A = this chain, B = another copy of it.
Amino acid sequence: MSGINNFAFKLANVNGTGSASANGLLMQAIFRMGIPVSGKNLFPSNIQGLPTWYEVRVNGEGHTARTPDFDLMVAMNAETYGRDIAEVVPGGYVLYDSTWPLDAQLKRADVTLLGVPFARLCTEHFAESRERILMKNIVYVGTLAALLDIDMATVHQMLEEKFERKPRLKDSNRKAIELGYRYAREHLDCELPFGLKAMDATADKILIDGNTATALGCLYAGATVAAWYPITPATSVMDAFKSLCQRFRRDPVTGKNRYAILQAEDELAAIGMVLGAAWAGARTFTSTAGPGVSLMGELLGLGYYAEVPAVVFDVQRTGPSTGMPTRTQQGDLLACAYASHGDTKHVLLFPCDPEECFYFAVKAFDLAERFQTPVFVLSDLDIGMNDWAVKRLKWDDSYQPDRGKVLSAAELDALKKYYRYWPENEDAVAARSLPGVSSKGAYFARGSGHNKYGGYTELPSEYQEVVDRLARKHRRAARAVPAPVIHRTPGARFGIVSLGGCDGAVREALGLLKQRGFLADYLRVRAFPFDERVEGFLSSHDVNFVVEQNRDGQLRTLLLAETSVEKRRLKSVRVYGGFPLSARDVVEGITAKLAAERQAEREAHQEE
Contacts and interface: CB of A to CB of B under 8 A. Distances in A.
Interface of A: 44-45, 290-291, 293-295, 297-298, 301-302, 304-306, 318-327, 329, 331-332, 334-335, 338, 340-345, 446-449, 458, 460-461, 463-464, 467-468, 471, 550-552, 554, 557, 560-561, 564-568, 576-579
30 contacts: A45-B448, A290-B342, A291-B301, A294-B301, A295-B297, A302-B321, A304-B321, A305-B319, A305-B323, A319-B340, A319-B341, A321-B342, A321-B447, A323-B448, A323-B449, A324-B463, A326-B458, A327-B449, A327-B458, A332-B342, A335-B340, A343-B551, A449-B578, A461-B577, A464-B551, A471-B551, A471-B552, A561-B561, A564-B567, A566-B566
Given A301-B320, A304-B321, A340 B567 contact: no
Contacts of A338: 334-335, 338
Given A332-B342, A335-B341, A577-B464, A322 B561 contact: no
A351 B265 CA distance: 39
Nearest to A550: B343
A196 to B, nearest CB: 30
A288 to B, nearest CB: 10
Contacts of A447: 320-323
- 10 A-B pairs with the lowest CB-CB distances in the bound complex, closest first: A319-B342, A460-B577, A321-B447, A290-B341, A320-B342, A294-B297, A294-B298, A324-B449, A343-B551, A322-B447
Contacts of A327: 449, 458, 463
Given A321-B305, A577-B464, A45 B551 contact: no
A294 B340 contact: yes
Contacts of A305: 319-321, 323
Nearest to A288: B341
A318 B464 CA distance: 11
A344 B324 contact: no
Contacts of A45: 448, 458
A571 B550 CA distance: 29
Contact of A578 (B323, B332, B460, B579): B460
A549 to B, nearest CB: 10
A248 B319 CA distance: 43
Given A305-B323, A460-B579, 16 more contacts: A293-B341, A294-B340, A297-B297, A297-B335, A305-B320, A323-B448, A324-B458, A324-B463, A326-B458, A332-B341, A334-B338, A335-B342, A343-B552, A464-B576, A468-B551, A471-B552
A177 B324 CA distance: 68
B341 A294 contact: yes
